[in-house]
Homo-oligomer: A and B are copies of this chain.
Amino acid sequence: MTTTTFAYHQLFAFAERVFLAMGCPEADATLATEALLAADLRGVDSHGVARLSGYVRLWEAGRINARPRVGIVHETPSTATVDGDGGLGLVVGPRAMRIALQKAEVAGTGWVAVRNSNHFGIAGYHAMLALAQDMIGIALTNASPLVAPTHSLDRLLGTNPIAVAMPAGEQPDFVLDMATTTAANGKLEIAQRQNKPLPEGWAQDAEGQSSTDANAVKNGGALRPLGGATGSHKGYGLGAVVDILSGVLSGANYGPWVPPFVAFLPLPTDPVGQGLGHFFGAMRVDAFRPADEFKAHLDNWITTFRAAKAVPGERVLIPGDPERETAATRLLDGIPLLEAVVRDLEATGAKFGVKLG
């Protein structure tokens, strides 16, 4: 497939101007762009600028508030519940995470449940905001229902990711960022474009049978939870925890009531909460042991695992390795975008008189 490569700063300037044109305050436009482009840098192409037009359409449909008043509605020394006022998750997320970091400064840890938000890009970006302060960062979010619990024909969960970032010393930081499904929806979209069958275990058809059809989800099927044929109840359980902490604990929607990302689908008429939900955590490492000790041992953990004997032709990776390597390359060499994405960005820019590149 044909791609065109753009420098990070080109895409940054473009997306920032689009967010400004939507009416975002300057600081919010910058924040949203940084969060959005973290996906493109780290190789999670499905969650980056390819989604910019989706955010714009949600805003056009009146489902995103470009000037939200993000506020704390309830708090204790180590917790807060935050109302995102319908804002971009790309803005609400980092603001809520900042509250978690501030709580952790004082109480050792900070935990923030967020309601009335929207999709926040990649979970890893938010978790990594903790690293600079020698904290462990955690980010969860619920998402539009595309996933069938084990044995279910109904789609009741999103891909509900879990991200955990932990600060290392000399070694690169440990960054886990994973959907609780076997494969993220973006990987299905890639298989659709390439007209290739899916690996076994990613999806099921409308009758609940395992399917390798890349269009299975579109045709009444569903994504399957992480775990494969004999373990999907575990992926379902993890996705459920993410949904309950993000949605039920915060007062957001949950399960089948989570608002869709695509503006052409109607909102549920009987919402059980407000908007979409996230859950953030920050733990000061030195609330448990001196930070230098922790980091030295995490370095030892990382080097031990990286040095493991591997099957021929492979190596044992540390969570975050592939994304970090992609980011290093793309910062230097640029970010390749599919032609369809480029055309979509141009059309989005044209709405606001903003040019790409």
Q: How far is the CA of A256 from the CA of B307 in the complex (A)?
A: 12
B76 lies within 8 A of A108 (CB): yes
A316 lies within 8 A of B150 (CB): yes
Q: How far is the CA of A77 from the CA of B201 in the complex (A)?
A: 44
Give the chain B neighbours of A106 by CB distance below 8 A: 77
Quick check: which of A88-96, A176-184, A326-334 contacts chain B, the rest being far away? A176-184
Give the chain B neighbours of A235 by CB distance below 8 A: 226
User: Copy number in this complex?
Assistant: 2
A273 at the interface (CB under 8 A from B): yes
Which residue in B107, B166, B300, B316 is a CB contact (below 8 Å) of A77?
Answer: B107
Given A201-B231, A226-B227, A228-B231, check contact A154 B308 (CB 8 Å).
Answer: yes
Q: Mark A216-250, 1 if CB is under 8 A from B, else 0.
A: 00000000001111110111111011011100111
| Closest CB pairs A-B (n = 4) | A228-B228, A76-B108, A151-B314, A208-B311
Q: Mark A262-297, 1 if CB is under 8 A from B, else 0.
A: 000000000011000000000111011100011001
A251 lies within 8 A of B289 (CB): yes
A244 lies within 8 A of B301 (CB): yes
A19 at the interface (CB under 8 A from B): no
4 further contact pairs, Cβ within 8 A, besides A182-B231, A272-B300? A76-B107, A78-B107, A228-B229, A240-B319
Q: Mark A300-335, 1 if CB is under 8 A from B, else 0.
A: 110011001111001111010000000000000000
Give 23 CB contacts A-B under 8 Å: A74-B289, A76-B287, A77-B78, A77-B107, A78-B287, A79-B108, A79-B109, A79-B287, A109-B109, A111-B283, A152-B308, A152-B309, A153-B308, A156-B305, A183-B230, A200-B229, A228-B228, A233-B319, A249-B285, A249-B289, A251-B293, A254-B301, A272-B300
A118 at the interface (CB under 8 A from B): no
Give the chain B neighbours of A254 by CB distance below 8 A: 297, 301
Give the chain B neighbours of A136 by CB distance below 8 A: 245, 249
B226 lies within 8 A of A226 (CB): yes
Which residue in B238, B256, B272, B319 is a CB contact (below 8 Å) of A176?
Answer: B238
Q: How far is the CA of A314 from the CA of B251 in the complex (A)?
A: 31
A55 at the interface (CB under 8 A from B): no
Give the chain B neighbours of A298 by CB distance below 8 A: 244, 248
Give the chain B neighbours of A227 by CB distance below 8 A: 182, 226-228, 231
Interface residues of A (CB under 8 A from B): 74-79, 81, 106-109, 111, 113, 136, 148-154, 156, 162, 164, 166, 174, 176, 178, 182-183, 199-202, 207-209, 226-231, 233-238, 240-241, 243-245, 248-251, 254-256, 272-273, 283-285, 287-289, 293-294, 297-298, 300-301, 304-305, 308-311, 314-317, 319
B256 lies within 8 A of A304 (CB): yes
Q: How far is the CA of A28 from the CA of B251 in the complex (A)?
A: 40
Q: How far is the CA of A308 from the CA of B145 in the complex (A)?
A: 13
B176 lies within 8 A of A311 (CB): no
A320: nearest residue on chain B (CB-CB)? B237
Which residue in B153, B240, B245, B308 is a CB contact (below 8 Å) of A311?
Answer: B153
Q: How far is the CA of A229 from the CA of B229 in the complex (A)?
A: 10
